Amino acid sequence: METINAVGRRKAAIARVFVKEGNGAITINKRPLETYFPSSILQYIVKQPLNTLDATEKYDIHVNLDGGGYKGQAEALRLAIARALVKINPEDKPALRAEGFMTRDPRSVERKKPGQPKARKRFQFSKR
């Protein structure tokens, strides 16, 4: 099997994933998953698509992660892994879609507007 690549995005984070057959090693920016994401919750988020398909030990995953915070990066990586697994086997798509792993979360930071302190906050109004 040749290397399959996919991209996942969330907020400002971008995850580029390269999946090939192997024994389940996940490398993020040349570091193992456990050192890049010390939190077990974030590790769980990343592995959700693999756990859904019982493919945790099947593939080696090499990741380039850039931008955003750790939560956004973990969710971008989850989307990228799900997309790569669908490229490998299209019959897995309904199972991953039912869990919500195939949907790109469109929410991102709203831009700051001119003449305001933040995106929606206004300066205090004074009548006199």
Q: How confident is the model at residue 56 (pLDDT cuts 50, 70, 90)?
A: confident
pLDDT digits (tens, 9 = 90+) for 100-127: 999 999 999 999 999 999 999 999 999 9
Q: What is the pTM of this model?
A: 0.90
pLDDT tens, 12-28?
A: 999 999 999 989 899 99
Integer Cα distance of 101 and 43 in angstroms = 15
Residue in this structure with the two tokens 């456990």, named with its chain if needed: 34
CA pair distance 82, 48, nearest whole angstrom:
9
Q: Please report how the helices 40-52 and 70-88 are oriented relative to each other, as an axis angle in degrees rounded to 10.
A: 10
Do 38 and 96 meet the contact criterion of CB atoms below 8 Å apart? no
